[in-house]
Structure 1
Amino acid sequence: MAVTYYYDHMTKPKQAAYRSMLAGLTELSDSFQLPLLDAKELSEVFLLLRLDHPELFWASGFHFLHYQDSPNLIMKPEYLFDKSKVREHQKAMASRVEKLARPAKTLSEWEKEKYIHDFICENIRYDKLKKAYSHEIIGPLGQGVGVCEGIAKAVKVLCDALGIWCMIAICGNNPEKEIKYRHTWNIVRIDGQYYHLDATFDNSLGKCSVTGEEIRYDYFNLDDKNIFRDHEPLIAPAPACTNGDHFYYKEKKLSFTKQEDVKKRALQAAKKGRLLTFHWRGGYLTKQVLEELLEQISEAGKERGKIPHVSLNWSQAVLRIRYTEEPAPELEPDVNMEEANEGEQE
């Protein structure tokens, strides 16, 4: 099941150009005709086509020609590799996707989504050099490296293979916030409801956390209200995500509204020496509320003779606690402020 959300929301002329582009790129043509569009429209169709069809990993750019009075353009695509190499990579990618999808075929939709998310977080390293192939599925699935675009495309290809409705969301940059690049992630449909899934942001938290290499789920099935706390507005159409029922921490009963529940679970974590990652939804996570939560977490540690080390994703109100045995119970908890973004990864 390959979802073509962007095609479905295009005008008729753009859809016609999209179909011609898809055919030409699939056939690895050196040039092909398109209906007449202006340069901006053509670039938009080329971008959205490759988000709908991330399996077209070899298409990296294009030039076009227009002869006066002609109703058509001639498009000359640019490919990442020569044609024989593209075909080799096609076979390798098809085999890789099939192999990865096979163990998850019988899982529920939510379990399939988690399987894909965990594969990304456990196996893909962020490519700080931002090589061209890291923007395509061949980076994450072939080389084990990627940037947000390549990771979102890999998620979609695996979702398509497992029959999960999935599209790639894209937002703009924001120089005022020192956000230099557009960011991409996924929107999935689970049990009939739409949710945001940002495996890149979760990957950044898992790799950077002082608590080690544990997988994070701070961006697993967020609604619109929560994702846009630290994501820029979308620059292309997408379905509304209004339901938060399948948010990971809520699903796992790790989303708390009462401070006494935080204290109770913190005591268990301190006793057993386990990490505790939880989401706070008992109102806004203000500085005062945070101080109160840290007091509960510290008290739990003192009762077990341990010191808490806390990682905080303030935007999403997610805290991770690790207790250690230290001979200074009067110390304040060690709080590490985390900010999920693709550039923070090691």
Structure 2
Amino acid sequence: MIVDRYYYAQLNKQEQVVYKAFYNGLMAHEDVIPIPIKGQLSKEVFNKIFHAMTRDNPLIYYVNQSACNWATDAFGHTAICPQYFYGRETVRKYNRNIENAVNNLAAQLKLTEGTDYEKEIRVHDWFCKNVKYDFKGSDMDEPARVVLSHNIVGVFAKQKAQCEGIAKAVKVLLNAVDIKCIVATGEAEANGKKEHHAWNVIDIDGSPYQVDVTWDIGASKERIAYDYFNVTDEIISRTHSFEDEMPKCISTEDNYFEKNKLIFRNRSQMITYITQGIAKGRTDFYFRLDGFFNKFKRSELTKIVAKAAMAELNRTVKVQEMPNENVGTYWFRIF
């Protein structure tokens, strides 16, 4: 198991001193945490450290992220006063349950076997099959549900969470099997609306990739979606923007579509893929388009798929489609 503290490494030395003292105090469930610095701690610096703390350490799920205060006395002594969602005994119980859940999943998914890519895709697929997005997880009339949906307990205990809880649970599982994974935060735009969002940056064999498991969960209807699995900065930036500087994600080697040779750059490549698949009895087709081919309208693309299928099957067909034009991925089912 690795401890992947990317955000700690971005802090200066004094901020790291505060981070360590803060972390140790939270782990000990202290009500007042003395900070070994002199002088005032600015709100900006405190928020930076607290933000780093909560993203680096998903196992500190029991701290209220929106109601943590600090104070400096007349002698220049500073202390942080956190608020906890759960008492010590409840945290101990939850920690045991989380540890058991992680160990059981690691065994079930065989996360000690295979390459980093194989481990990663097993984790991704488990989330897409088993975890649901909690659409009521921001309802302030249900505060307990809000807490669960934004941390790892929602995933490991209820298998239901919002993006923050999902991204943090992905980090916990992958870090547990020695794969570097960090939580990325910022904004994402869907249906013309921007909202605060969390996803992951995952290191596979020395190359970082952008991975949004939450959005793949949302797209996994009748299949498992890989639209946002190991994509580059260029692709994720079409819909996402980052709060902080992140590792540069430029490799395409372990992108799902690259890995499985499902990227097509002209019409003939796509038609060959469909006709060969139909000849083998397949009815589902999932691929990504690159280059000028992206300029095709969805209706045109559907007609091309239908025409290729009719030519191969020698009968009329119906085509069900599920496109993601933001990233150029398309899923078709032929009846």
TM-score (norm 1): 0.86
Deviation of 1:287 after TM superposition, in Å, equals 3.8
Residues 33 and 197 from structure 1, CA distance in 2 versus in 1: closer, same or farther, beyond 3 angstroms? same
Match of residue 104, structure 2, among 99, 102, 111: 99
Report sequence identity in percent: 26
Task: Give 1:280's aligned residue.
Answer: 289
Residues 52 and 286 from structure 1, CA distance in 2 versus in 1: closer, same or farther, beyond 3 angstroms? same
Q: Structure 1: which amino acid aligns with 2:111? A: A
- Say if 2:91 is the partner of 1:82: no
- Say if 2:230 is the partner of 1:229: no
The answer to whether the Cα contact below 8 Å between 1:9 and 1:237 also exists between their aligned partners in 2 is: no
Q: Take 2:133 and 2:193, find their aligned partners in 1: how far apart are those partners? A: 19
1:87-134: CA deviation from partner (whole Å, max 9, x where unpaired) = 100111011111212321022100011011111111101111112111
Deviation of 1:174 after TM superposition, in Å, equals 7.3
The answer to whether the Cα contact below 8 Å between 1:64 and 1:76 also exists between their aligned partners in 2 is: yes
Q: Structure 2: which amino acid aligns with 1:79? A: Y
Task: Give 2:306's aligned residue.
Answer: 298
Match of residue 190, structure 1, among 191, 200, 204: 204
Q: Secondary structure in 2 aligned to 1:220?
A: coil
Task: Give 2:166's aligned residue.
Answer: 151
The answer to whether the Cα contact below 8 Å between 2:265 and 2:293 also exists between their aligned partners in 1 is: no
Q: What are structure 1's unaligned runs of at least 5 residues? A: 325-346
Q: Take 2:127 and 2:191, find their aligned partners in 1: how far apart are those partners? A: 30
Q: Structure 2: which amino acid aligns with 1:63? A: C
Q: Take 2:220 and 2:188, find their aligned partners in 1: how far apart are those partners? A: 24
Q: Secondary structure in 2 aligned to 1:163?
A: coil
Task: Give 1:108's aligned residue.
Answer: 115
Q: Structure 2: which amino acid aligns with 1:215? A: I
Question: Would you identify which runs of 4 or more consecutive aligned residues in structure 1 move more than 6 Å?
Answer: 173-176
Deviation of 1:273 after TM superposition, in Å, equals 4.3
Q: Structure 1: which amino acid aligns with 2:234? A: K
Q: Structure 1: which amino acid aligns with 2:68? A: H
Deviation of 1:178 after TM superposition, in Å, equals 2.4
The answer to whether the Cα contact below 8 Å between 2:58 and 2:172 also exists between their aligned partners in 1 is: yes
Match of residue 126, structure 2, among 100, 119, 123: 119
The answer to whether the Cα contact below 8 Å between 1:270 and 1:300 also exists between their aligned partners in 2 is: no
Deviation of 1:268 after TM superposition, in Å, equals 3.8
Residues 175 and 302 from structure 1, CA distance in 2 versus in 1: closer, same or farther, beyond 3 angstroms? closer
Deviation of 1:65 after TM superposition, in Å, equals 4.1
Q: What are structure 2's unaligned runs of at least 5 residues? A: 138-145
1:284-336: CA deviation from partner (whole Å, max 9, x where unpaired) = 61245x55533320212322222212111000100000011xxxxxxxxxxxx
Q: Take 2:284 and 2:238, find their aligned partners in 1: how far apart are those partners? A: 25
Task: Give 1:323's aligned residue.
Answer: 334
Residues 110 and 83 from structure 1, CA distance in 2 versus in 1: closer, same or farther, beyond 3 angstroms? same
1:132-176: CA deviation from partner (whole Å, max 9, x where unpaired) = 111111111111001111000001001110110111111147799
Alignment coverage as a number of residue pairs: 316
Equivalent residues in 2 for 1:138-177, closer than 5 Å: 138-172=153-187, 177=192
The answer to whether the Cα contact below 8 Å between 1:223 and 1:243 also exists between their aligned partners in 2 is: yes
Q: Which moved more, 1:81-90 or 1:57-66?
A: 57-66
- Say if 2:57 is the partner of 1:48: no
Q: Structure 1: which amino acid aligns with 2:175? A: D
Equivalent residues in 2 for 1:55-66, closer than 5 Å: 55-61=59-65, 62-66=67-71
Q: Secondary structure in 1 aligned to 2:64?
A: strand
